[in-house]
Each structure stands twice: as C-alpha cells, then as structure tokens.
C-alpha cells in the first residue's frame, strides 16, 4: 500500500496537494520536513509535509515526490499550529504564511532562466522599449534570471512581458533547479589515522628525513595541535609552515595527512566572555518589576506603561535573566531593527554572546543558520532580538516575549500577505509555549490600554523617569501669531530660534522633527497652478534639492526638475510646504557654526546609514539632528537639551481615525528624547492650532485624558477597539472596472452585514504604480463570531470571481486594519 504526503507549497493556493512517496522516501519523510515536488507544467517547488497517510486522492493522479530534503523536520508542530492560526485569522493562505515564515534560503525552487533564440531575424519585428532592452541584454549574456531582467527593465512584474516575448518566439525559457542554503564548511587537517601510535609516528619521521619541507609541516602541525588534538585549519597550517598547497597535497596523497570538513558558523556573535553585572534597579523600577511579576502570575500579558526614560529596558533585562535561568528562550521584538544598535550593545554588555540579532542585513545563509540555532535551542540564540518577522523562528521553548514600543504601527505588516500584527501574533505564539508576555510603551496603544481596562491584560506602571529627572517642559508656539508679528526666520519661530541658540551655547544638543522628507512636498507653477504629478500614482512629486530632482514617495519614480512649467511653459515653478532637507538648509544659514545632520529615508539608505548618523550624534560630533519619525523610536541620547517640532499640523489633520492617537504618541515620543539623564529638557512645538486638544494633552503629558477622549470617540463612531475593522482593497489598472467590482462586492456584503459596511471609496491616493485602489471597510462588533463572518466573505469572493469581468481584480484582505 502506497504512502502519500499532503504537501504545503509556498504559493497562494487555497488547498494542499497530495504526492506519493517511494519506499525509500517513506523512511525519511517526517511531518514538517521539506520535500521537492513537481508542480504545474515544469516547475519544482520546495513543499512541506503536513500529513502522511494512505488515502489515494480521487480527483487526480498524485505525482511522485522528487526528493526528500530533510531528515529532521524543519518546522515544528507548534509552528504549524501558529501558521494555521495566522492564515485563518488574517485571511490568507497557509502557503503565503509558509513563504513569509521560512528563510528563502530553504526554499529551493526551480528558477526560470531566459535565453536568447539564436538566429532570429529581428528585422521587421516591432519591439517596444522594454523588449528591446531585454534582447540587448541577452546579446551580452547567454542567459538571465527573471530577477535580473526585472532589474534591467526596472519593473517588479516582468512575467507578462516575458510571456509576450516567448509567445512571439523572441526568447526561450528554461527551468533550472537551485539549492540555495548550504552549510559553510572549512577544511581542517590532521595526521592520518595509521600514524596515530607513537611507534608508527617515529618510523614516519625517520623516513621523512630526506624531505625537509614535509617534515617541517608535520612539526608545525604538532605545535598547532598543542599536543591536545586541537583542530587545525588547513589554511592556517599552510601559512604557518610557509608551505605551498602542493606540498600539503603531496602529504595528503601519500596518506600521511588527511583533510576533513567541519561546518563553520556564520552567525557572528556578540562580545566573547562571561556576562556582565545586572543593573541595580531604582525603587520605582523595583516596584514595577513586582507588578510585572504579579501580572505574570495571573497568566495574562502585562502592559508596562512607563514614561519616556523611566528605565523600562533595565526591567526587561531582569526578566530576560529570569527566563535564561530557567533555560528558556526569549523573543524581544522591536519596531525597527535598523536603529537598535544602542540596545544591542546594552544587552550584550549583560548577556554577552547569548544575544543574537535577527537583522534584515543577514544574508540568506545567515538566516538559515540562525534558524537551526533557534531550533536547537543553543546558547547562542537564547535571546533573539528582531523586528516582527523574528516571531517566525522555530523556538524550541519560548519563555518570554517582549514587545517594546508596542504602540508602533510598524508592527503591522502591510504588504504582502500575511498582513499580521507582530504584537498580536507574538501573544498567540506565547500562548502555545506558555511563555510570559510583556508589552512596553510610554504611550500605549488605545487597544492595549483598553485590554487592561477589560481585564485582558495586567498593568505595571512607571510614572517617573530614572534618577527622578523631570519630564520635559513642553511649550506650544503659535505660528500664526509669529508670522503676523513678523518674527519668523524661514521656518523658525523666534522662540525656537532662541532656544536653539541657548541650547548650543550651553553645549547641549538639539533634535528637530519634521515629518516629511525631501525639500518641499509640492512644486507648483505660480503662473498656472500646475504641480508636477507622478505618471504612475495620483500624487504630486516631492522636490529633493540635493539631487535637484522630483521624486514619487509611493513608487520611486524620479526625474530632474524642469526649468519651466510643463503645462504653461513659464519659468515660474516654486516650492510649497517643506521637508527635512529644507529645515537642514535653513539651519545651516541660521546657525553657520553648528554641525547639522539629517536622518530620514534618504540619508539612511546605505548599509550602515543609521549607525553612522546615530553614532556621530551620540559622540557629540553633531550639534543638531533633523529627522523624520525615525527619531521617535526609542533612541536614548544623553545630551539633548532641546527638541523642536517644526510643524505639528500635518499630523493633526491626517484623515484617519487614528490620527489623533498617533499624533499624541509621535509628539510624546520625540519629546521624550529631551533631557533624559540629567537636567530637565525643553520641547517646543510649532503649530497653527495651539489650542487643539491633542496638543494641549501632549504638553501636559496627559495620556489618561487623551485615552478617555479617544476611546469615547471610537465608541461613538464605531472604530477600534469598539469594533474590529476588516479592510478589503480592490486593485486593478482600469478605473471603471475596479469601481464596478468594488460596488458589486460591497452590495453583496451589505445584504449580509447591513450598515456595518462602509464604502467603496477611493483612498487619498487612488492610483499607485498604475493600479487603482478602492476600499471597503467592514466593522465587526465584539459579539459577532469571526470565523462565520470570514466564511461569508470568502463565499462572496467566490461568487465575485465567477463573474468574468471581475476575475482580474485583486482582492486584498487586511484584518485588524490599523
């Protein structure tokens, strides 16, 4: 009787496929192990065995498994359970979760190679620009991968292009199987087994008397082995003995020496040596730690709500230590891994090499290797620090999950599926491991505080800064008045300019926050009012003066700024609004002595972009740092006397139900960078709305007031946490079609859910990368069970796809849209 494997493929399929195993494969295949299986016409995929069984599928003839790739499961039952939860909850396929969860180094895949067709006559062929580029590239290279072609034509999706060219006989396609992860091995050398006895060795050395080079090598080897059979790398021996590879080779051929391979670790570790001392906690920290422990005892996740610079990190350190004492693993999630260098150093000072960072800069191989470390529960991966995707690592025994800055919206994956929330998914995972969960923030999300109020989470509080440093003095500056009284110098009000001078004079540093990068958001013609638009998206282009170009922040399109308006031809283009680049430029004029630096997406693209900027500021090489919201994410600088917010109004007026909450969080967090360790810091917020409730709450540090008011509004207008929001986005390149399709879908939803359905509506930017978007929101009240709701929606989607003119519209679900 044959054995079958139900196999999960890393592609968005609604169901799994069954393959047949040969007798020899049956012995090695296990649930959670990888298999290479054929799929479609000629493709091989890496799949995962979900189930082994004896039931022959009836609907199709099962294909054979091509190869079993693992003798140990790559993925554990706990992980599979977590993936299944994620696919169900966030309404995507299990294959999409698989694809995201597993480092791509493990996903051996047949790669499509594009080849030229020899001897084709291109005369008379009508080629468009892209086709011409592809053929030209193939003149120089016989074969290219699909990815390489994507780079050449500067497009993400090139398959339609290639398909067109293939069907016209312009190119050939070929499948090639690629294994991507290979352990790194290093050659070591030792004496051949036959000479391991003293007597044999003596005879050998005598016989080598006439070959001095060879005996020199042997003596060198004994020295390097330090008598104790210490492993010696071939390369090291060769160098030390000053011998050539040929001499070494001769000894190996004569079976005097033998070479063997050892796997080398790619994971760079932190500082060597023992762990450092634990910090001594202040009484406030000690009290909070007790509250956290009590919360853990109740089995609930704990929210640690501690003001900025209250010393949350040291409390985390204590809890990490406790988990390590129990020999359990720790997952430490942060919103943005690129700027955590400070934190990594702090943790490594205490935990030494037990801290490992799951970094976006790890390459395929390093990621795969870290996977094995975490799976084996080695000491090296006892504490994993990472952004949201670190939660997919195969933890053997997770004891503690920390989610720092839990309010940050970067924890939510936006694209592609699974569109999961890292905090929430980590809480579910922790449940499977019976691990403790701590969420930390100085400005908790309304959801989390609401969960405390409902008794779902426990609360721990820190109301004071470490060392009793006062929270910063926050003042609002009325921009309208400053302009009226002609007190503005460029974008700087008189109080802000003066405060900067004073701060610099007292040898303190300044941080300036402007939530827009570039020089000016909009370029506008003074004669005709025309503003240059992105050809692919419905937005105006942003002016970047440094490169003198216009850029689209949605798709990356860029071009040089023209001298004259493309609409009316007049040389009257002017800039409106301002970004970080302009703030930086004005600072250089106002404070020519000060050293100014800028931190935003444009200045941090390089590999160590962030570290250079942060490092220089820490070392006080920089006086003033201008930046976007990257500045808000938990940085701990010691000499910042002043934080200035250039303009708070864009944050206030952002059209989103969460705009006020985010504005409060952002401004409180940036303000929190001021005066962290000694003297009280100062914060100036420039705004046209100095009486706006949210800004008043920021300046009074009134989180409770903000929370109550926002919660009331969310309940009135039915937004989270009063309801759950499921956002359904429809995407298509034709404006009319997406409109009709979305309307049909919304109508079908309304029949079922009535007034809980909002839309369809075009979002603020309706066209991105040449695709029109339309949104429908479904508000799900607390009592309404989720899975039947989702099943109804899936049913509607199936009917939708049965209508031929709608089939090409992409339907995207975003559960718990934030």
Tell me: does residue 313 bind ligand ADP (CB under 6 A): yes
Site string for ligand ADP, 457-486 (x = CB under 6 A): ---------x--------------------
Output the smallest distance, CB 287 to Zn ion, in A.
Answer: 52
Which of left, alpha, beta for 675 (phi over 0: left; psi -120 to 50: alpha)? Answer: left
| Alpha carbons 185 and 408: distance in angstroms, whole number | 41
For ligand ADP, the closer CB: 306 or 577:
306
Q: Which does 676 bind (CB under 5 to 8 A by kind): Zn ion, ligand ADP, none?
A: ligand ADP
For 284, phi and psi rounded to 5 degrees? -65, -40
Determine, following the binding rule CB under 6 A, whether residue 614 of this chain makes contact with ligand ADP: no
CB of 733 to ligand ADP, least distance (A): 46
Options 200, 252, 522, 555; binder of Zn ion; rule CB under 5 A: 555
**Quick one: CA dihedral 21, 26, 31, 35, positive or negative?**
negative
Q: Should residue 534 be labelled a site residue for Zn ion when binding is judged by CB under 5 A?
A: yes
Window 81 to 140, contacts with ligand ADP (CB under 6 A): none
Q: How far is the CB of 469 from ligand ADP (least distance, A)?
A: 8
Contacts of ligand ADP in 284-303 (CB under 6 A): 285
Q: How far is the CB of 275 from ligand ADP (least distance, A)?
A: 16
Which residue in the shown chain puts its C-beta closest to ligand ADP? Answer: 311
Q: Which stretch binds Zn ion (CB under 5 A): 70-78, 148-156, 383-391, 532-540?
A: 532-540
Rounded Cα gap, residues 674 and 500, in angstroms: 13
Indicate which single residue of 537, 573, 738, 742 sits in contact with Zn ion (rule: CB under 5 A).
537
Q: Which of 34, 99, 116, 312 binds ligand ADP (CB under 6 A)?
A: 312
User: Token digits for 668?
Assistant: 């409180």
The tokens of 13 are what? 């399929």
- How does 618-627 read in b/e, with b if 16+ C-beta sit within 10 Å? beeebbbbbb
- Give the Cα separation of 749 and 519 in Å (integer): 44
Which one of the spans 210-218, 533-541, 745-753, 801-809 is the region binding Zn ion (CB under 5 A)?
A: 533-541
Do 433 and 398 meet the contact criterion of CB atoms below 8 Å apart?
yes
Q: Which stretch binds ligand ADP (CB under 6 A): 12-20, 193-201, 311-319, 713-721?
A: 311-319
CB of 769: closest distance to Zn ion in angstroms?
7
36: how many CB neighbours lie within 10 A of its CB? Answer: 18
Q: Which is nearer to ligand ADP, 538 or 636 (CB)?
A: 636
Please state the closest distance from residue 133 (CB atom) to Zn ion, in A: 21
According to CB under 6 A, which residues from 670 to 729 bind ligand ADP?
676-677
Does residue number 280 form part of the binding site for ligand ADP (CB under 6 A)?
yes
Give yes or no for a contact between 466 and 282, defined as CB atoms under 8 angstroms apart. yes
Report if residue 541 touches Zn ion, rule: CB under 5 A.
no
Distance from CA of residue 531 to its chain's centroid? 34
DSSP character at residue 156: S
Question: Which 776-795 positions form the footprint of ligand ADP (CB under 6 A)?
Answer: none
Query: If binding is defined by CB under 6 A, does position 311 make contact with ligand ADP?
Result: yes
20 near ligand ADP (CB under 6 A): no
- Indicate the residue among 311 and 675 with the shorter CB distance to ligand ADP: 311
- Applying CB under 6 A, does 310 fall inside the site for ligand ADP? yes
Q: Residues 103, 306, 422, 720: which binds ligand ADP (CB under 6 A)? A: 306
First to last CA, the chain: 52
Residue of 314, 406, 408, 581 that binds ligand ADP (CB under 6 A): 314
Q: Are 17 and 9 in contact (CB under 8 A)?
A: yes
Binding of residue 344 to ligand ADP (CB under 6 A): no
* CB nearer to ligand ADP: pick between 468 and 787: 468
CB 377 within 8 A of CB 397: yes
Residue 498 backbone zone (phi > 0: left; psi -120 to 50: alpha; other: beta): alpha
641 binds, among ligand ADP, Zn ion, none (CB under 5 to 8 A by kind): none
Ramachandran angles phi, psi of 742, nearest 5°: -65, -40
For the record, the structure tokens of 530 come out as: 């025309």
Q: How far apart are CA 473 and CA 467, in angstroms?
A: 17
Closer to Zn ion at the Cβ: 334 or 537? 537
CA distance 333 to 351: 17
Nearer CB in complex with ligand ADP: 465/660: 465
**C-beta closer to Zn ion: residue 373 or 517:** 517
Number of residues that bind Zn ion (CB under 5 A): 7
- Based on the shown chain and the rule CB under 6 A, indicate whether residue 279 belongs to the binding site for ligand ADP: yes
For 335-403, the DSSP string reads: S-GGG-HHHHHHHHHHHGGGEEEE-TT--HHHHHHHHHHHHHT-GGGSEEEESGGGGGS--SSEEEEEE
Question: Quick one: 201 or 281, whose CB is closer to ligand ADP?
Answer: 281
Helix (H) / strand (E) containing 627 = strand 624-627
Per CB under 6 A, does 308 bind ligand ADP?
yes
Distance of CA 23 to the CA centre of its chain: 42
Q: 306 contacts which partner out of Zn ion, ligand ADP, none, CB within 5 to 8 A by kind?
A: ligand ADP
Binds 536: which of ligand ADP, Zn ion, none (CB < 5-8 Å by kind): Zn ion
Shortest distance (Å) from residue 385 CB to ligand ADP: 14
* By CB under 6 A, residue 802 contacts ligand ADP: no
Closest to ligand ADP by CB, 310 or 729: 310
User: For residue 487, what are the CA distances in angstroms to 494, 581, 588, 677?
Assistant: 6, 22, 19, 33
Q: What does the buried/exposed string (b/e) look like for 668-683 if buried means 16 or more CB atoms within 10 Å of the residue's CB?
A: bbbbbbbbbeeeebbb
Out of 536, 677, 689, 752, point to the residue binding Zn ion (CB under 5 A): 536
SS3 579: coil
Distance between CA atoms of residues 530 and 572, nearest Å: 10
Asked if 321 interacts with ligand ADP (CB under 6 A), we say no
Structure tokens at 512: 């300036």
**Residue placing its CB nearer to ligand ADP in the complex, 497 or 640:** 640
- CA-to-CA dists, residue 530 to 535, 536, 540, 548, 576, angstroms: 14, 17, 10, 19, 12
Do 176 and 252 meet the contact criterion of CB atoms below 8 Å apart? no
Binding residue (CB under 6 A) for ligand ADP from 30, 250, 252, 281 = 281
| Residue from 213, 318, 557, 639 in contact with Zn ion (CB under 5 A) | 557
Q: Name the residue nearer to ligand ADP (CB basis): 42 or 290.
A: 290
With respect to ligand ADP, which residue has the nearer C-beta, 289 or 362? 289
In the complex with ligand ADP, the residue whose CB is nearer, 311 or 741, is 311
- Greatest Cα pair distance, the chain, in angstroms, is 101
Which residues of this chain interact with Zn ion, rule CB under 5 A?
534, 536-537, 552, 554-555, 557
Which residues of this chain interact with ligand ADP, rule CB under 6 A?
279-282, 285, 306, 308-314, 466, 636, 676-677
């Amino acid at each position: 009787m044959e054995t079958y494997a139900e196999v999960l493929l890393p592609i968005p399929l609604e169901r799994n496929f069954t393959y047949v195993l040969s007798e020899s494969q049956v012995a090695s295949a296990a649930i959670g192990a990888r298999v290479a299986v054929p799929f479609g016409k000629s493709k091989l995929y890496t799949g995962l065995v979900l189930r082994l069984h004896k039931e022959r599928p009836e609907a199709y003839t099962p294909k054979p498994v091509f190869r079993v790739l693992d003798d140990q499961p790559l993925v554990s039952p706990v992980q599979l359970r977590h993936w299944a939860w994620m696919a169900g909850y966030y309404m995507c396929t299990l294959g999409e979760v698989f694809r995201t969860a597993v480092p791509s180094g493990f996903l051996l895949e047949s790669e499509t190679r594009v080849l030229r067709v020899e001897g084709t006559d291109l005369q008379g062929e009508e080629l468009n620009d892209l086709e011409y580029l592809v053929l030209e590239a193939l003149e120089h290279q016989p074969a290219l991968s699909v990815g390489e072609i994507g780079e050449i034509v500067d497009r993400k999706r090139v398959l339609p292009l290639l398909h067109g060219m293939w069907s016209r006989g312009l190119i050939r396609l070929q499948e090639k199987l690629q294994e991507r992860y290979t352990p790194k091995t290093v050659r070591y050398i030792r004496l051949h087994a036959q000479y391991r006895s003293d007597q044999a060795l003596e005879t050998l050395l005598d016989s080598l008397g006439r070959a001095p080079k060879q005996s020199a090598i042997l003596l060198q080897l004994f020295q390097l082995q330090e008598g104790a059979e210490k492993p010696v790398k071939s390369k090291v021996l060769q160098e030390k003995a000053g011998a050539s590879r040929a001499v070494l080779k001769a000894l190996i051929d004569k079976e005097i020496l033998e070479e063997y391979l050892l796997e080398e670790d790619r994971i760079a570790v932190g500082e060597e040596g023992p762990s450092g001392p634990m910090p001594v906690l202040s009484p406030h920290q000690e009290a909070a730690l007790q509250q956290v422990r009590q919360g853990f005892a109740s089995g609930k996740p704990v929210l640690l709500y501690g003001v900025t610079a209250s010393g949350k990190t040291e409390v985390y350190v204590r809890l990490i230590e406790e988990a390590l004492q129990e020999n359990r693993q720790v997952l430490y999630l942060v919103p943005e891994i690129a700027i955590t260098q400070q934190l990594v150093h702090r943790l490594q000072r205490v935990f030494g090499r037990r801290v490992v960072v799951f970094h976006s800069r790890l390459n395929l191989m390093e990621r795969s290797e870290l996977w094995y470390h975490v799976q084996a529960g080695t000491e090296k991966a006892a504490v994993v620090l990472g952004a949201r995707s670190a939660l997919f690592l195969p933890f053997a025994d997770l004891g503690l999950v920390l989610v720092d800055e839990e309010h940050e919206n970067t924890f939510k994956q936006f694209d592609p599926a699974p569109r999961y929330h890292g905090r929430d998914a980590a809480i579910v995972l922790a449940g499977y491991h019976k691990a403790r969960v701590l969420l930390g923030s100085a400005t908790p999300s309304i959801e989390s505080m609401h969960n405390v109020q409902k008794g779902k989470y426990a609360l721990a509080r820190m109301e004071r800064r470490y060392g009793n440093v006062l929270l910063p003095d926050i003042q609002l500056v009325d921009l309208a008045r400053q302009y009226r009284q002609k007190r503005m110098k460029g974008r700087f009000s008189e109080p802000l300019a003066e405060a900067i001078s004073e701060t610099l004079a007292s040898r303190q540093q300044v941080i300036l926050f402007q939530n827009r990068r570039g020089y000016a958001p909009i370029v506008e013609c003074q004669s005709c009012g025309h503003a240059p638009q992105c050809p692919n998206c419905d937005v105006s282009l942003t002016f970047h003066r440094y490169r003198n170009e216009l850029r689209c922040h949605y798709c990356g399109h860029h071009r040089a700024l023209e001298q004259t308006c493309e609409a009316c031809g007049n040389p009257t283009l002017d800039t409106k609004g301002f970004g970080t680049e302009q703030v930086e430029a004005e600072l250089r004029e106002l404070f020519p002595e000060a050293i100014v630096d800028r931190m935003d997406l444009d200045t941090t693209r390089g590999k160590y972009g962030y570290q250079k900027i942060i490092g220089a500021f820490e070392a006080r090489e920089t006086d003033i740092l201008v930046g976007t919201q990257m500045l808000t994410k938990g940085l701990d600088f010691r000499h910042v006397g002043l934080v200035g917010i250039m303009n708070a109004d864009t944050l206030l007026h952002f059209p989103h139900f969460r705009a006020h909450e985010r504005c409060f969080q952002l401004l409180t967090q940036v303000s929190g960078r001021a005066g962290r360790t000694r003297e009280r810091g100062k914060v100036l917020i420039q705004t046209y709305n100095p009486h706006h409730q949210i800004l008043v709450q920021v300046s009074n540090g009134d989180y409770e007031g903000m929370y109550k008011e926002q919660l009331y509004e969310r309940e009135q207008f039915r937004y989270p946490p009063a309801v759950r929001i499921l956002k359904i986005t429809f995407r298509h390149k034709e404006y009319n079609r997406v409109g009709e399709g979305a309307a049909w879908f919304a109508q079908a939803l309304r029949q079922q859910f009535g007034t809980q359905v909002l839309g369809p509506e075009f979002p603020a930017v309706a066209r991105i990368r040449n695709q029109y978007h339309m949104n429908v929101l479904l508000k799900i009240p607390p009592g309404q069970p989720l899975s039947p709701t989702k099943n109804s929606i899936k049913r509607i989607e199936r009917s939708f796809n049965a209508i031929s003119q709608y089939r090409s519209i992409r339907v995207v679900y975003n559960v718990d849209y934030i």
